[in-house]
Amino acid sequence: MVGTFVTPAAEAGDRGQLALRCCVVRETRLDTARIRAARRVIDPIFLDTPLYRCEELEPDLGCTVSIKLETANPVRSFKARGTEVVASLLAGHGSRAVVCASAGNLGQALAWSGRGRGLDVTVVASRLAPAVKLDRIRALDARLELVDGDFDMAREQAAAVARYYGIRLVEDSLDIETCEGAATIGLELMDSPTSFDAVLIALGGGALATGVGHVLKALAPEVEVICVQPLGAPAMTHSWRQRRVVTTDSTNTIADGVAGRRPIQAVLDDLLLVADDAVLVQEASIIAGMRMLLDHAGLVVEPSAALGIAAIIEDRERFAGRHVVTIVCGSNVDIDAYHRWVGAAPRHGC
Amino acid sequence: MVGTFVTPAAEAGDRGQLALRCCVVRETRLDTARIRAARRVIDPIFLDTPLYRCEELEPDLGCTVSIKLETANPVRSFKARGTEVVASLLAGHGSRAVVCASAGNLGQALAWSGRGRGLDVTVVASRLAPAVKLDRIRALDARLELVDGDFDMAREQAAAVARYYGIRLVEDSLDIETCEGAATIGLELMDSPTSFDAVLIALGGGALATGVGHVLKALAPEVEVICVQPLGAPAMTHSWRQRRVVTTDSTNTIADGVAGRRPIQAVLDDLLLVADDAVLVQEASIIAGMRMLLDHAGLVVEPSAALGIAAIIEDRERFAGRHVVTIVCGSNVDIDAYHRWVGAAPRHGC
C-alpha cells in the first residue's frame, strides 16, 4: 500500500482555497507494504520496543505521556532498524563493503548490522562527535575515518570514499531503507491498544520523522505528527516552514544526533507530506527534558532523545490534556558530559 | 507440565552417593503450564521485555553479558508480572480489596494492577522504604500504611490488616502467583534464539529466583541458576546453604528491594530444587555494578538490579568466557541517593 496524502499546505491554506487545493494529493517515497516487509529482515532484537505510559512525567508536563523506548538494544538507538534493511539487501546481493557518514548512531548501527553479515563497514564521522559514539563504532569492527569538519563534511567525504572504492554509500534519510526501517516504529505505534493524539519526533536528517510520519498519516491521519529540532540546528525546520531547502552555515547544539546543516530535497518533500508541524526548542529545554527523563522515568538519554519532552516543556498549553507519545530515540551520550548537563541542578550540586 | 528436578544436593554430593541420591526427585510448587497460562492474563506491557547483549560491559567483566531489562514499563520493575496474575484472579472472583506488604516495588505493581481492575489496594510498607517508591504507591491510588519497622514488620502488619478486613493478603514469594508471574521471564529467556550458560538473579523473598529457576530447570537444566544477595541481607542465602530457614536480626544494605530477614520455608524448599548456587556480594560491588550499568549500558538501576553485575565483579574467573544473563529487575531508586552512590567516583566528583 502506498500512502497518499493531502499536502499540509492545503490544510494550512485559507478556507476559500481549501476545496481546490485538497485535490493536490501526493505520495511520499515510502511504501507501507515495504515497511511491513522490512520487519521480516530486521533482527527482532530491534523490534517491538517498549511503549508505555509514564505517569510520573505527567504532573510536570500537564498531559498524558507515553514513551516509545529505542535505547534497550545493542546499539542504543533506533538506527539499526534502517541499517538492518540496508545490510540484509547488500548481503543478499553479494556486496562486500559499505560506507556511510554518521553523526555517531548510524555508524554504530551499520557496523553492527554489517558485522553480522560479513560486510566491511567504513564510517566517516566528525572528529567532534562524542567519543563514546566513535569508540563504539571502532569496537564494532568498523573502519572509522574522521574528518575535521562537521557531519555535513563527513557526508562529502563518505561520498568520496564510495566513489573511490566503488562501494555502496548509505545516505541517512535519503536512502529509502533508512526511512522505511525507522518507519517500523510507526507500525508498532499503530499496533498499540492505546490511542494517542500526537507523536513527537526528533528531527535531524528526517528518516525518523518521514518514516514514522508516513505510517501515521497512512493509517491514523488524525494523529498529529510533530517534529522537534534544536534552535541551534534549525535547517530542516526552516526548510519545512519555507517549503524549500534552507541551509545554515553552522550548528550550535548539544543534540549532536540531529545537528545537520544541509537538508535533502527529497526528504523535505516527504516531510512536507507527513509532518503537521515542526518546532524549535532551546538548549535549556533539552537539558530540562533530559533531567526530567532521568528524575521521573529513570532514563538516561542523549540530547536528541529529549527533544520531545523539551517541546512539551516549551508549550504546555498546546498539549494540555492530550495523550502524547515521544520517541526516545537514543542513549549514546558521553557520560561525563551527561553528568555536567543533568547534574547541574542545584539539588544535585555539591 | 509440572517440572521435576534432581535436588541440588544430589549434584553437589560426593560421587559415591550420586546414584542413590539422584533418585530423590521432587517438584517445586510451580507449574510450567500455569506459567504459560499466566502470560495470557498479564498486560502485554509487562511481557516480552528487551533481552540484548551489552558488549560495552564485556571488556570490564571478561564474559559475554546479556541484559534482561525489566524496567521499561509503568512500574519500573518485574513485579507487575505477578500482581497482574493476582489481580486478574481476584477480579474474576468478584473480590473488591487486597492488601500486601511491600519493600516498595510489589506495592506499586499491585496498586497498578488493582487500579485497572477496580480493586481497593492497601500497601503496608516500612517508613524507611525509599520515598520514591512510597510516593508512587500513593500516586497509583493505593492506601499506604507505614510501619516503623522494616519489611518483615510490614509483613506482620499486612497480615493483621487482611484478618481485620477479611480481605486477600498477597504474600510476595509465598503466593504462587507472584512466583509464576515472575517465571514468565524464564519463558522469555527460553524463547531467545541465543543460548547462554548462566542466569544471575537477585534474591530477596525468592519469587524471581524460584520462578525463573523453575522454568530454566524444567526447560534448560544445563543453564546455571545463580542467586545473588547482598552480604548485608543474607538470610535466604544462608538458608539455602544450610538447607533450613535461617533468620537474621537486621539487614544492612542499600539494596532495599531484597532486604528480608525471615525466609519462607515453602519458598526455600523450591529454591533448593532450582538454584545451582547462591552468592553474597559486598555493598561496594553493588555500587560498582550500578556505576558500570550507567557508564557502559546507559541504564539507571536500583541497587537490587545491580546484584548480578556485582557477582561477576567479585568472581570474574568463574564467569570468564561464558555467556551470562543478568535480570535488571528494577529502576525505582531515589535519584539523590543514586547520585550519591554512582557519582561518588572521583571522575564524577566536584
Lowest mean pLDDT among A205-219, B20-34, B72-86, B214-228: B20-34
CA distances from B178 to A43, B92, B170, B200, B225 (A): 32, 17, 8, 19, 19
3-state DSSP assignment of residue A27 = strand
* Residue A15 confidence (pLDDT): 42
Contact predicate B210/B278, CB 8 Å: no
- Does residue A155 sit at the B interface (CB-CB below 8 Å)? no
Asked whether the predicted pLDDT for residue A278 surpasses 80, the reply is yes
Predicted confidence band at A1 (pLDDT cuts at 50, 70, 90)?
Answer: very low
- Does residue B295 sit at the A interface (CB-CB below 8 Å)? yes
Handedness of CA A307, A308, A309, A314 (dihedral sign): positive
Predicted confidence band at B343 (pLDDT cuts at 50, 70, 90)?
Answer: confident
Mean pLDDT score, B7-35: 62
Task: Name the grid cell of A85.
Answer: 534493511
DSSP class per residue in B170-198: E-TTTSHHHHHHHHHHHHHHHHSSS--SE
Q: Cβ–Cβ of A298/B339 closer than 8 Å? A: no
CA distance to partner chain B, nearest, from residue A286 (Å): 18
Which segments within B203-245 are labelled E, that is strand?
224-230
Q: Cβ–Cβ of A50/B55 closer than 8 Å? A: no
Report the mean per-residue pLDDT for chain B: 92
3-state DSSP assignment of residue A323 = strand
3-state DSSP assignment of residue A26 = strand
- Cα–Cα dist A49/A81, whole Å: 11
Mean pLDDT score, A91-98: 95
CA-based diameter of chain B, in Å?
63
Intra-chain end-to-end CA distance of chain B, in Å = 57
* Residue B226 confidence (pLDDT): 98
Asked whether the predicted pLDDT for residue A208 surpasses 60, the reply is yes
Torsion angle defined by CA atoms of residues A330, A335, A338 and A342, in that order, rounded to the nearest 10 degrees = 110
Residues of B in contact with A139 (CB under 8 A): 55-56
Report the mean per-residue pLDDT for chain A: 92
- Which comes out higher in pLDDT, residue B213 or B24? B213
Task: Name the strand (E) or helix (H) holding B289.
Answer: helix B283-297
Mean pLDDT score, B180-198: 97
Select from A42, A43, A45, A329 the residue whose CB has the most chain B CBs within 10 Å, as the one to mutate to test that interface.
A45
Torsion angle defined by CA atoms of residues A196, B113, B212 and A298, in that order, rounded to the nearest 10 degrees = 50
Whose cell is 548480578? That residue is B308
Contact predicate A108/A133, CB 8 Å: yes
3-state DSSP assignment of residue A69 = strand
Mean pLDDT score, A190-218: 97
* Residue A343 confidence (pLDDT): 82
Residues of A in contact with B45 (CB under 8 A): 50-52
Handedness of CA B80, B82, B83, B87 (dihedral sign): positive
Residue in B213, B260, B216, B253 with CA at minimum distance from that of residue B236: B260
Mean pLDDT score, A266-294: 98
Minimum CA–CA partner of A334 in chain B = B295
Asked whether the predicted pLDDT for residue B17 surpasses 50, the reply is no
Distance of CA B298 to the CA centre of its chain: 21
DSSP class per residue in A154-207: HHHHHHHHHHHHT-EEE-TTTSHHHHHHHHHHHHHHHHSSS--SEEEEE-SSSH
Asked whether the predicted pLDDT for residue B10 surpasses 50, the reply is no
Asked whether the predicted pLDDT for residue A313 surpasses 60, the reply is yes
Residues of B in contact with A294 (CB under 8 A): 300, 335
* Residue A75 confidence (pLDDT): 98
Minimum CA–CA partner of A293 in chain B = B300
Predicted confidence band at A13 (pLDDT cuts at 50, 70, 90)?
Answer: very low
Minimum CA–CA partner of B47 in chain A = A50
Asked whether the predicted pLDDT for residue B218 surpasses 80, the reply is yes
* Residue B25 confidence (pLDDT): 58
Write the residue in A45, A300, A333 that is nearest to B299 by C-beta. A300
Task: Name the grid cell of A283.
Answer: 538548549
- Cα–Cα dist B239/A117, whole Å: 49
Select from B43, B53, B55, B108 the residue whose CB has the most chain A CBs within 10 Å, as the one to mutate to test that interface.
B55
3-state DSSP assignment of residue A312 = helix
Select from A47, A48, A53, A56 the residue whose CB has the most chain B CBs within 10 Å, as the one to mutate to test that interface.
A56
- Cα–Cα dist A9/B20, whole Å: 82
DSSP class per residue in B129-169: S-HHHHHHHHHTT-EEEEESS-HHHHHHHHHHHHHHHT-EE
ipTM of the shown complex: 0.91
- Does residue B105 sit at the A interface (CB-CB below 8 Å)? no
Mean pLDDT score, B52-64: 98
A to B CB pairs, distance under 8 Å: 73
Q: Which residues contact A107 (CB under 8 A, 6 or more apart)?
A: A100, A123, A125, A133, A137, A142, A144
Contact predicate A5/A217, CB 8 Å: yes
- Cα–Cα dist B345/A297, whole Å: 24
Question: What phi-psi label fits residue A54: left (phi over 0), alpha (psi between -120 and 50 degrees) or beta?
Answer: beta
Write the residue in A67, A136, A348 that is nearest to B339 by C-beta. A348
Asked whether the predicted pLDDT for residue A20 surpasses 90, the reply is no
- Does residue A133 sit at the B interface (CB-CB below 8 Å)? no
Write the residue in B55, B71, B294 that is nearest to A335 by C-beta. B294
Handedness of CA A75, A77, A83, A88 (dihedral sign): positive
- Cα–Cα dist A326/A312, whole Å: 10
- Cα–Cα dist B204/B208, whole Å: 8
Mean pLDDT score, B131-141: 96
Intra-chain end-to-end CA distance of chain A, in Å = 57
- Cα–Cα dist A145/A124, whole Å: 5
Buried b (16+ CB within 10 A) or exposed e, B236-273: bbbbbeeeebbebeebebbbbbbbbbbbbebbbebbbb
Mean pLDDT score, A104-124: 97
Residue in A313, A317, A314, A347 with CA at minimum distance from that of residue A60: A313
* Residue A8 confidence (pLDDT): 46
Predicted confidence band at A25 (pLDDT cuts at 50, 70, 90)?
Answer: low
